[in-house]
């Protein structure tokens, strides 16, 4: 009986838990400090199942779930590779140079150490502002000098990649002026080698015609301009006032003239245009898409009513009307595989209910994408963005006065700016471009570029009767209805216009396809030139 009592006492002694102290326990001498994990049970302390304080997450020598590491007394914020006193592993930027690091930018060392713990060196491709680096392109580049400072004329560093030269230097066919090579008229520095100066004659080099890198492809270069190549011609004339158009569809060119629509192979030369439609009367607009020609012409109902027609050569016997509920269609364009058109709206409402429609030739479905706009005319589409001109209420023989330019994306129309006598407008990547013949209100004829999100404009003024407009990054091109020069300037930084080529007759319409610019002139000829 006495033995059973002893066993029961011992069992009770070792069955205590963290929260229940064993009865009659005799503490050792000396008594440890009351803390979880010291091997001494204290009922006044909160302990977890392992005998540790759940609130103490570091420095007890065992990594708990909330800790990355814990080496107890070996934790250190100064020893390399040690677990830190916050129980986190060593990290780049903690101010301690660990064995896996070249250096550590912490504790005031950022001027000699990169954020990735590599030693800061100009040329390592990492811009270290604390080391006074302004740039780092792993050596000299067009924007960065070899000492990791930005290119600046007058800094005493000649950066060849930026085209800089030594002040006062003289080169073949050029001199150094404001740190840049200034070539003599008609010459260009095209190979990047200053030793041979301005080596290219830009006046007669078909590979570098008018500017470095501009190839005439299949035409000669004369006086710094590519000689235009005659693609096709037809009898009669073309006139900008008759809204005549030019469109490229695959390998075929289509153009309209005097109520007729012609076609020719775009890659051939000296062709006679084939008349695929004739007797269309007052043909307002024309565009070709996927083998079908679309145009605006007089409605079968007669009077002033107009309709939109489709005609597929070799398939249709005669043009077929498309679209429903049309209210004075005014212009056509294509966007991807869709056809877009504008409608002036109803006369009874003062043409204040105009709209833009997107039409699918594949399904015949049409949807209004912009509504309640005033007199939309000269519509152009760029993806889901549309731009147009409101010509104003009072037409005159040469166009309209007080034109207003508009742009819409997502169905919302935004006012761009006022024009004077706008006949050509287009949009690309949010920019709106237009030709303003402006003489009606005393302004200079000009080409205007309006970027998205504001009213700021870049103007190329003093352009005589600009006509025809095309955009192909990085340039905007236009012609003249008074002479045959085709000019261009850069989109981002418009400067004095350059002459791309000279047409035998004034320009009516132009378009871009691949490396070529095509245009229709008043003599009913279609030309092309490499752009």
Question: Quick check: helix, strand or coil at residue 13?
Answer: helix
pLDDT attached to residue 53? 57
Beta strand pairing call for 271-272 and 274-277? unpaired
d(Cα 386, Cα 367) in Å, to the nearest integer?
Answer: 14
Mean pLDDT computed over every residue of the chain: 83
For 508, half-sphere exposure in the C-beta direction (CA atoms, 13 angstrom radius) is: 24
As a whole number, mean pLDDT of residues 219-244 equals 91
pLDDT attached to residue 441? 33
pLDDT attached to residue 24? 38
Q: Which residue did the predictor score with more confidence, 260 or 23?
A: 260
> What residues contact 477, with CB distance under 8 A and at least 6 apart?
468, 469, 470, 471, 486, 487, 488, 500, 510, 512, 517, 531
As a whole number, mean pLDDT of residues 247-255 equals 97
pLDDT attached to residue 138? 93
pLDDT attached to residue 287? 96
Of how many residues is the chain composed? 531
As a whole number, mean pLDDT of residues 259-282 equals 94
d(Cα 359, Cα 344) in Å, to the nearest integer?
Answer: 17
pLDDT attached to residue 405? 86
The domain locations on the chain are 32-90
In this predicted structure, which of 48-62, 71-85, 274-288, 384-398 has the lowest mean pLDDT? Answer: 48-62
% the chain with pLDDT above 90: 49
Q: Is 50 exceeded by the pLDDT of residue 143? A: yes
As a whole number, mean pLDDT of residues 295-320 equals 86
Place of tokens 């065992």: 62
pLDDT attached to residue 33? 52
pLDDT attached to residue 12? 39
Q: What is the pTM of this model?
A: 0.71
| Cis check: omega of the bond before 30, within 30 degrees of 0 | yes
Report which DSSP code applies to 16.
-
d(Cα 157, Cα 122) in Å, to the nearest integer?
Answer: 15
pLDDT attached to residue 164? 83
Q: Is 60 exceeded by the pLDDT of residue 397? A: no
Each residue of 174-213: pLDDT tens digit? Answer: 888 888 888 999 999 998 887 788 999 999 999 999 999 9
pLDDT attached to residue 367? 95
Each residue of 446-476: pLDDT tens digit? Answer: 677 777 655 566 777 667 777 889 999 889 9
In this predicted structure, which of 4-18, 318-332, 336-350, 360-374 has the lowest mean pLDDT? Answer: 4-18
pLDDT attached to residue 438? 57
Alpha carbon separation from 247 to 67, 217, 253, 316, 526 (Å, rounded): 70, 22, 6, 20, 11
pLDDT attached to residue 350? 85
């Amino acid at each position: 009986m006495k033995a059973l009592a002893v066993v029961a006492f011992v069992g009770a002694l070792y069955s205590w838990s963290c929260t229940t102290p064993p009865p009659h326990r005799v503490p050792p001498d000396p008594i440890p400090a009351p803390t979880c994990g010291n091997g001494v049970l204290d009922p006044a302390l909160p302990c977890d199942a392992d005998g540790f304080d759940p609130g103490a997450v570091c420095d007890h020598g065992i990594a708990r779930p909330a800790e990355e590491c814990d080496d107890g007394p070996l934790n250190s914020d100064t020893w390399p590779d040690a677990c830190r006193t916050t129980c986190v592993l060593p990290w780049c930027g903690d101010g301690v140079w660990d064995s896996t690091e070249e250096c550590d930018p912490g504790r005031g060392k950022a001027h000699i150490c990169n954020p990735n713990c590599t030693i800061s060196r100009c040329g390592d491709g990492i811009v270290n502002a604390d080391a006074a680096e302004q740039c780092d392109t792993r050596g000299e580049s067009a924007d960065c000098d070899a000492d990791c400072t930005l290119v600046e004329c007058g800094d005493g560093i000649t950066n060849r990649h930026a085209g800089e030269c030594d002040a006062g230097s003289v080169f073949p066919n050029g001199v150094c002026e404001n740190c840049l090579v200034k070539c003599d008229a008609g010459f260009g520095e095209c190979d990047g080698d200053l030793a041979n100066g301005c080596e290219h004659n830009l006046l007669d080099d078909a590979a570098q015609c008018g500017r470095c890198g501009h190839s005439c492809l299949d035409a000669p270069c004369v006086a710094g301009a590519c000689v235009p190549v005659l693609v096709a011609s037809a009898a009669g004339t073309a006139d900008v006032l008759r809204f005549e158009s030019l469109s490229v569809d695959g390998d075929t060119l289509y153009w309209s003239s005097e109520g007729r629509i012609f076609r020719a192979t775009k890659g051939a030369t000296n062709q006679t245009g084939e008349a695929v439609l004739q007797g269309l009367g007052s043909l307002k607009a024309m565009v070709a898409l996927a083998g079908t020609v679309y145009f605006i012409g007089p409605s079968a109902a007669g009077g002033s009513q107009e309709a939109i027609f489709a005609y597929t050569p070799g398939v249709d016997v005669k043009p077929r009307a498309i679209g429903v509920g049309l209210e004075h269609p005014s212009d056509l364009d294509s966007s991807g595989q869709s056809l877009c058109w504008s409608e002036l709206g109803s006369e009874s409402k003062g043409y204040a209910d105009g709209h833009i429609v997107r039409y699918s030739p594949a399904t015949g479905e049409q949807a209004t994408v912009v509504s309640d706009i005033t007199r939309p005319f000269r519509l152009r589409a760029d993806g889901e963005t549309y731009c147009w001109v409101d010509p104003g209420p009072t037409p005159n023989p040469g166009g309209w006065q007080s034109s207003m330019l508009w742009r819409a994306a997502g169905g919302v129309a935004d006012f761009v700016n006022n024009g004077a006598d706008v006949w050509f407008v287009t949009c690309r990547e949010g920019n709106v471009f237009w030709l303003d013949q402006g003489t009606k209100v005393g302004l200079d004829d000009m080409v205007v570029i309006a970027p998205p999100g504001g009213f700021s404009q870049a103007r190329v003024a003093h352009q005589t009767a600009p006509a025809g407009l095309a955009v192909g990054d990085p340039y905007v091109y236009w012609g003249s209805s008074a002479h045959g020069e085709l000019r261009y300037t850069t989109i981002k930084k418009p400067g004095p216009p350059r002459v791309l080529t000279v047409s035998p007759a004034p320009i009516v319409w132009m378009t871009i396809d691949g490396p070529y610019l095509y245009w229709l002139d008043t003599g009913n000829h279609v030309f092309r030139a490499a752009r």
